């Protein structure tokens, strides 16, 4: 039995697919180069090593190799264009299918030829290399297609053609042996690739997530702010920044301990996430301070979000291990001006938050425009 795949969480599948596309592109690029070098070499080797009984045979060989050569050239040309990667895997698959098909056809052509066994060996080994290249991208699944069809065709030919057995049939064993080795190596490399992908995703996730609340952290929010700032500039839209800070949180820590303080922060985070709409974002900006980003906002919509958040925090009370605690939140709301930087809009939201605290807390205050 094959080892079970390292499982990739559903939310990472899109990233994994993108990763596979770009891997296909890199592998396909390499493979196309190898193919374009090997095809002429094989043609010359065939012409010198195999005594053709028929002068037309060399042209048949060239014609059989043409589809693979065209596909490899197409791959190299597309690779050099600055385009997205989605074409790379289907093209890599087609290229490999054309190579394996070509080899199967040459096998059939040479099956009963004197001295043809040399070809069986080189063909078998080349198949193994191609198998590894392809299967490391998508696992062994697609090898069924790449190998299955040409392989069945070759078996059918051997069984039904009634051709005489070649002089050295023992060499035929190289083909399934090379395929088997290729399959094992490909599976191992594919598993390794999945594990590396998962590890790098976990690393990236933890670098962008606040460990206590599970919310995006400041670094993550800075990326979103930058993206929103660019979009707002391009589309001439406004976004709003809400700076939210728990009221008298020090007292919670002092009276009930840091652990209970942590519980309050975690409950607060879950209230944020259940209250905000899909496009809105929230991050833990620091300590007990949270930054909310509302895209495509007006003064009215931003204040409505701030008020809604304030209300869902104020009520109901927070169920902690120290009992039900009344918690409130103050917010500073700033609408981004077309001419100002991210730091400037955050600074205005901060000043509005400061005013909210001064004016008695548990309220949202709009920044000066
Ligand atoms: N439990 C816990 N406390 C934190 C964390 N981060 C910051 N704090 C605490 O948050 C408190 C913030 O205190 P202050 O800045 O005085 O603010 P405050 O008591 O909320 O008062 P106002 O903001 O003026 O309403 C400090 O006691 C910090 O130790 C954390 O991750 N966990």
∠ Cα 144 150 151 (to 5°):
75
Question: Nearest-CA neighbor of 357 among 329, 334, 335?
Answer: 329
309 vs 113: which has the higher pLDDT: 309
CA of 160 to the centre of ligand 1 (A): 82
Query: Over the stretch 352-369, which tens digit does the pLDDT of each residue have?
Result: 999 999 999 999 999 987
Flag whether pLDDT at 168 surpasses 90: no
Task: Please give, one letter per residue, the 3-state secondary structure of 72-107.
Answer: HHHHHHHHHCCCCCCCHHHHHHHHHHHHHHHHHHHH
| Residue nearest (by alpha carbon) to ligand 1 atom 4 | 287
- The per-residue pLDDT for range 64-120, each reduced to its tens digit, is 889 999 999 999 999 999 888 889 989 998 998 888 888 888 778 777 666 555 666
3-state secondary structure 188-199: HHHHHHHHHHHH
pLDDT at 1 exceeding the cut of 50: no
Residue nearest to atom 8 of ligand 1 (CA): 287
- Map out the domains of the chain as residue ranges: 11-207, 218-366
Pocket test for ligand 1, best of 214, 261, 265, 354 (most atoms within 8 A of CB): 261
Kindly give the pairing relationship between strand 323-325 and strand 318-320: antiparallel
Atom of ligand 1 nearest to the CA of 258: 1
Architecture of domain 218-366: 2-Layer Sandwich (3.30)
Neighbouring C-beta atoms of residue 46, cutoff 10 Å: 21
Rounded Cα distance between 33 and 73, Å, is 8
Residue 176, pLDDT score: 76
Direct distance between the N- and C-terminal alpha carbons of the chain, in angstroms, rounded to an integer: 67
Q: Which residue has the higher pLDDT, 304 or 189?
A: 304
d(CA 137, CA 93): 10
Q: Give me ligand 1 centre to Cα 283, in Å.
A: 16
CA of 41 to the centre of ligand 1 (A): 72
Asked if this assembly's ipTM is beyond 0.85, the reply is yes
Q: How much is the average pLDDT of 233-245?
A: 93
Q: Whole-angstrom Cα distance, residue 213 to residue 266?
A: 5
Nearest atom, ligand 1, residue 212 CA: 31
**Backbone phi, psi, residue 242, to 5°:** -115, 120
CA angle at 309 for the pair 226 and 261, rounded to the nearest 5°: 90
**What integer pLDDT is reported at residue 312 of this predicted model?**
97
Q: Which of 137, 147, 150 is nearest to 180 (CA)?
A: 147
Alpha-carbon Rg for the chain in angstroms: 32
Residue 166 has pLDDT above 70, yes or no: no
Q: How far is the CA of 249 from the centre of ligand 1 (A)?
A: 5
The mean pLDDT value of the chain amounts to: 87
How far is 2 from 38, CA to CA, in rounded Å?
33
Residue pair 269/288 in contact (Cβ under 8 Å)? The answer is no
Cβ neighbours, 10 Å, residue 149: 14
Q: Which has more confidence, 191 or 282? A: 282
Q: Is residue 34 a contact partner of residue 27, using CB atoms and an 8 Å limit?
A: no
Q: Show the ligand 1 pocket: residues with CB < 6 angstroms.
A: 212, 245-250, 253, 258, 261-262, 265, 287-288, 357, 361
Q: Locate the ligand 1 atom nearest the alpha carbon of residue 249 and give its number.
A: 20
For atom 6 of ligand 1, which residue has the closest CA?
Answer: 287
pLDDT of amino acid 45? 75
Residue 51 pLDDT greater than 60, yes or no:
no
What is the structure's pLDDT at 63?
87
- The residue nearest atom 7 of ligand 1, judged by CA position, is 287
Give me the pLDDT at residue 116, please. Answer: 57
Task: Point out the least confidently predicted range of 5-19, 64-78, 301-315.
Answer: 5-19
Q: Does 60 or 38 have the greater pLDDT score?
A: 38
């Amino acid at each position: 039995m094959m080892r079970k795949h390292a499982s990739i969480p559903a939310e990472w599948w899109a990233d994994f697919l993108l990763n596979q596309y770009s891997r296909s592109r890199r592998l396909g690029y390499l493979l196309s180069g190898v193919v374009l070098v090997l095809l002429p070499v094989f043609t010359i080797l065939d012409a010198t090593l195999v005594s053709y009984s028929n002068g037309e045979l060399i042209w048949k060989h060239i014609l059989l190799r043409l589809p693979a050569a065209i596909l490899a050239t197409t791959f190299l040309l597309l690779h050099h264009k600055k385009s997205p990667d989605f074409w790379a895997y289907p093209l890599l698959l087609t290229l490999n299918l054309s190579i394996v098909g070509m080899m199967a056809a040459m096998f059939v052509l040479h099956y009963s030829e004197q001295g043809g066994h040399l070809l069986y060996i080189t063909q078998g080994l080349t198949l193994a290399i191609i198998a590894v290249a392809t299967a490391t991208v998508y696992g062994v699944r697609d090898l069924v297609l790449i190998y299955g069809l040409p392989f069945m065709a070759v078996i059918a030919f051997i069984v039904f053609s009634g051709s005489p057995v070649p002089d050295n049939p023992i060499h035929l064993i190289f083909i399934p042996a090379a395929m088997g080795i290729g399959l094992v190596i490909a599976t191992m490399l594919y598993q390794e690739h999945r594990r590396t992908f998962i590890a790098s995703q976990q690393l990236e996730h933890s670098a962008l997530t606040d460990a206590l609340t599970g919310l995006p952290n400041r670094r993550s929010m800075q990326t979103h702010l930058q993206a929103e700032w660019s979009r707002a500039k391009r589309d001439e839209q406004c976004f709003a920044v809400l700076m939210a800070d728990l009221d008298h949180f020090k007292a919670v820590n002092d009276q009930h301990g840091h652990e209970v303080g942590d519980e309050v922060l975690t409950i607060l985070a879950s209230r944020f996430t259940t209250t905000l709409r899909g496009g809105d974002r929230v991050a833990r900006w620091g300590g007990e301070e949270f930054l909310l980003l509302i895209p495509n906002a007006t003064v009215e919509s931003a204040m409505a979000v701030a008020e809604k958040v304030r209300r869902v925090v104020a009520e109901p009370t927070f169920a902690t291990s120290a009992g039900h605690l009344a918690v409130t939140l103050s917010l500073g709301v700033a609408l981004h001006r077309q001419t100002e930087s991210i730091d400037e809009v955050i600074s205005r939201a901060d000043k509005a938050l400061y005013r909210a605290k001064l004016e008695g807390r548990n309220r949202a205050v709009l920044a000066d425009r």
